[in-house]
Amino acid sequence: MTRDGSSMKCAIPTYLAFLGAASLCLGLGCSTAHYRDKADKEVYKIIADKSPGVPGLPENFSIEQDKSDPLEGLGAGEQTPEFLAEAGKAEAGAQIISLEDALSIAVTHSRTYQNQKELLYLQALSLTLDRHQFSPIFAASGSGQYNRSTTDIEKLNGVGEAANAIPGLIAQRGRNASLVLSGAPTASGILQQLGVPANSQTIAALEAVGALSGTPAQLLTDYANVVNEAFTVAGVNQPEREIRDDRDITGDANIGVSMLLKGGARIAIGLTSNFLRFLTGDPTLQSSSALVANITQPLLRGRGKDVNAEFLTQAERDVLYQLRAFQRFRQEFAVQVASGYYNVLQARDAARNNYQGYLAFQRSVERERALYDANRTTLTALGRIEQSLLNTENAWVDSIRNYKQALDQYKILLGLSTDVNVILDDAELVELNEKGLNHPALQSDDAVAVALAARLDLYNTRDEKDDSERRIKVAANALLPDLDLVIAGSVNSVPGDDTFDELDFQRARWSAGFDVDLGLDRKAERNSYRTALISFDRAVRELSLAEDNVKLDVRESWRNLDQAKRNYENRKLALELAARRVEEQDLRAEIGEAIVLDQVDAQNDYISAQNELTDATVRHTIARLEFWRDMGILYIKENGQWEEVNDVPATTPQ
């Protein structure tokens, strides 16, 4: 309350109140989800804008993990495969995953795939901060304090003030000789003539000067000295100690904006306000404001977009590089998933073939034992075929273990728990065998030419060489002297107790000048420049090496594919030969003319031929996918499926 009883209002600046309200909103009303959503929106826009420059990337990119059940809607098997023995019983009711399902599950649930998506996201997120450096950056801060302090003061009461005043008044009257003392005045009379209140203490002090004499002026001067000494002795003019309680509110607010231009200029504008409100004593308000602006423009070192915005240019290109790397990963990952799928089916097929061979040896052992009982064969022959039965059984058991191990590893690749009960679809391998080979009619040199025009990782290496060349110019600019044009200005508020919102532009101050640094010590910059030159030479070599490695990859893939084709053709003929030998030995055994060693060899060769043909089919399929991948033209759909390559383009756009 003020002295007149009215309500006391504190004149806080309007923008300080706004600053407080905004801080409260940010602190209480804005959740962390708001910042997350803003980051996602900005990052996804960057990726969407740059994705058209990389063929084959999915249109809808997101790092949000799919929480749905990846096995929902899949069919379940009802049979328990006999060739898996006890392990086959666990597959009763297992859900069947086709190759298409496996690819779809992998791109939504694979841990490796999720990591690669997050790497791309983080690279784009880093770009948002680099872009932010060239946008207006606002800052607002403020502070407020309630202050209480106590002060010791010395204060005279009314008598003491009079006692101090009497000697001076007497002396003044004496100097003016204006006081006429008639007769023998009393002490009270003198005090009355001096205009000083009369009381027992002042009267007692004057009575001590009754014996003085002289002229009126001299007499009053003597009076003054004696009275002062008398008051001092009596302690009348000594001050009393008192504690004063001071309370006030202080505060300040700062609002500013700065911006870095790509040409190198930096602009900064700030508005500051301070206020003080006294709550005790005189409740007055004191406030002031100041507007300050600065502009700094490099003229030599650090001048120009190519130099000053180099870090932004590199950040933009790094996102493009990561997009290409992600697409390259998608190609490799699709081949990895398909290769793993067929390898599991191949292991399962090996268990099936070994089981069939085991059953065939059981029949041969039974037949040979019957012949031995009829004295038509020797014990050695019987023992040999029984030994082969045991070896075949061991191979069968090992193949079951290999299959289960491969299946568990494949679950991890897809992002599934090893506890889930799933199997892969045998029909995929059957279909692959029925289709036969899909061998591309493309020569090695043509494939190399396509790869040099299409490989995304090669594009990155080429662009990295350009980055090294660009950094030479930046390093050379750092060797120049510093010469900056600096312009500064400030405006204070109109002088007064409460004029913070009135800036006195008529009394504005500004200055312009140059800051110069001749750069006499440039050893660090010299080393950076030399390093940039070496880095460029190294980048040129890296590009040459990368091109040779691409050629090597493609030629090796072409050779592998060609070899896989030849192996498939040979294994197919070998299986036909092995089947005829087994058939012949079975017929000879029925008439008792079979030779045990021939029977064993024929059966073993037949089992091996079956497994090798499956292996040749799978290898050729995988080699074909690797061939397209190494050429850089294996395009992956959003669901992880690849598009079959029919016509090979001469070039592929960047």
Average pLDDT of every residue of the chain: 81
pLDDT higher than threshold 60 for residue 207: no
Confidence band, pLDDT 50/70/90 cuts, at residue 591: confident
- Is residue 197 domain-shared with residue 129, that is, in the same domain? no
Give the model's pLDDT for residue 228.
60
239 contact partners, CB below 8 Å, separation of at least 6:
154, 155, 156, 160
Tell me how far apart the alpha carbons of residues 301 and 295 are, in angstroms, rounded to a whole number: 16
Give the model's pLDDT for residue 499.
59
Q: What share of the chain has pLDDT > 70, as a percent?
A: 77
Token pair 């029949």 in the structure block, residue: 363
**pTM for the model:** 0.78
Residue 541 within any structural domain of the chain: yes
pLDDT higher than threshold 80 for residue 274: no
For strands 422-424 and 95-97, give the pairing. Answer: parallel
- Is residue 418 domain-shared with residue 335, that is, in the same domain? yes
pLDDT higher than threshold 90 for residue 130: yes
Hey, which of 131-140, 385-394, 543-552 has the most confident mean pLDDT?
543-552
pLDDT higher than threshold 50 for residue 1: no
Residue 636 within any structural domain of the chain: no
Q: Are 198 and 174 in contact (CB under 8 A)?
A: no
pLDDT higher than threshold 80 for residue 235: no
Residue 24 within any structural domain of the chain: no
- Is residue 464 domain-shared with residue 505, that is, in the same domain? no
Confidence band, pLDDT 50/70/90 cuts, at residue 335: very high
Mean pLDDT of 361-390: 84
Give the model's pLDDT for residue 430.
87
Mean pLDDT of 384-410: 92
Residue 264: give the domain boundaries.
Answer: 137-151+245-304+484-517
Q: What is the DSSP letter of 482?
A: E
Number of domains in the chain: 3
- Is residue 320 domain-shared with residue 334, that is, in the same domain? yes
Residue 328 β-bridge partners: none
For strands 482-492 and 509-517, give the pairing. Answer: antiparallel
Mean pLDDT of 313-342: 95
Task: Point out the domain boundary residue: 238, 268, 283.
Answer: 238
Q: What is the DSSP letter of 493?
A: B
Residue 433 within any structural domain of the chain: yes
pLDDT higher for 533 or 608? 533
Report CA-CA distances (Å) from 272 to 139, 162, 255, 289: 12, 50, 7, 5
Q: Number of H helices and number of E strands within the chain?
A: 17, 8
Residue 594 within any structural domain of the chain: yes
- Is residue 118 domain-shared with residue 39, that is, in the same domain? yes
- Is residue 169 domain-shared with residue 209, that is, in the same domain? yes
Give the model's pLDDT for residue 193.
59
Residue 211 within any structural domain of the chain: yes
Give the model's pLDDT for residue 546.
96
Confidence band, pLDDT 50/70/90 cuts, at residue 459: very high
Residue 260 within any structural domain of the chain: yes
Mean pLDDT of 463-470: 96
pLDDT higher than threshold 80 for residue 197: no
Q: What pLDDT, in 10s, does the model give residues 144-194?
A: 888 877 777 776 655 555 555 555 555 555 555 444 444 445 656 655 655
Residue 473 sits in a domain of what CATH number?
1.20.1600.10
- Is residue 161 domain-shared with residue 283, that is, in the same domain? no
Q: What pLDDT, in 10s, does the model give residues 614-652?
A: 888 889 999 999 999 999 999 888 888 888 776 555 544
- Is residue 124 domain-shared with residue 142, that is, in the same domain? no
- Is residue 253 domain-shared with residue 291, that is, in the same domain? yes
- Is residue 490 domain-shared with residue 539, that is, in the same domain? no
Task: Point out the domain boundary residue: 238, 259, 279.
Answer: 238
Q: What is the DSSP letter of 375?
A: T
**Token representation of residue 32:** 């962390």
Task: Point out the domain boundary residue: 238, 258, 283.
Answer: 238
Residue 2 within any structural domain of the chain: no
Q: What is the DSSP letter of 485?
A: E
Hey, which of 53-62, 281-290, 430-439, 642-651 has the most confident mean pLDDT?
53-62
- Is residue 564 domain-shared with residue 420, that is, in the same domain? yes
Tell me how far apart the alpha carbons of residues 42 and 256 are, in angstroms, rounded to a whole number: 25
- Is residue 406 domain-shared with residue 553, that is, in the same domain? yes
Q: What pLDDT, in 10s, does the model give residues 475-502?
A: 999 999 999 999 999 888 777 655 556 7
